[in-house]
Amino acid sequence: MIKYTISIILLTLAACMLQQFLPAIGGLHGARVLILPLVFLCAAVTVDFATMLLLAYLCGFLWDAQHTLGPQGGDPAIYKEQIESLHFGYSIILYAMMGLLMQGIQPLFRKGKWHLSSLLSGIAIFLYLFSEYLLINFVRGDFVFPMTAFYRIYLTSALTMLFSPVVFWLIFQLAAISRHTIRYDGLKRGPRYID
């Protein structure tokens, strides 16, 4: 279990570095693939509760370090539209809430229904981005929700969800390399009782 947890943490750090190089897609209202939250969500369904909380803290810390440190609303050379910045640490709570959602579907995942976890990862990212946008509106002091923001949130979560089978494959490979067994209760056949 320790080797698997360390390999998941290393995968999370690699996803954080990769996230820096993934641009927004202009033709899709600025949508982007969010690799770091996706790796967290796919890993959260394969680990126990304490490890999920550790990953939520790590991912939330890294996410906030990328997005809230520096000038207000980000570097003006990179971010053309400046936004109000949320306080450092809010993402840790939102990541923990997404992790709780994935932990709730863990019994279905253990029955071999990983595709439901893949679908739920898209829903969780949608809820995360929507909650983050609501928090930004709360900080601004007014509520503005243009349709382009909805399209960006929707398309980002849909694009990210499309990459979840690849991330699950990577996680299964890491589990095999570290000799960790992700339990599948539904794939084992119990004894049959004939009356």
pLDDT at 34 over 90: no
Query: Which pLDDT value is given to residue 57?
Result: 93
Say which CATH architecture domain 2-181 belongs to: Orthogonal Bundle (1.10)
Task: Convert 67-85 to b/e letters by CB count within 10 Å (16 or more is b).
Answer: bbeeeeebeeeeeeeeeeb
pLDDT at position 188, please? 45
pLDDT, tens digit, 9 for 90 and up, residues 111-160: 777 778 888 888 888 988 888 888 777 776 777 778 888 888 888 888 88
* pLDDT at site 85: 57
Averaged confidence pLDDT in the chain: 78
Q: Is it the case that residue 194 has pLDDT exceeding 70?
A: no
**Which is more confident, 33 or 170?**
170
Q: Give me the pLDDT at residue 53, please.
A: 92
Residue 20 confidence (pLDDT): 81
Domain ranges of the chain: 2-181
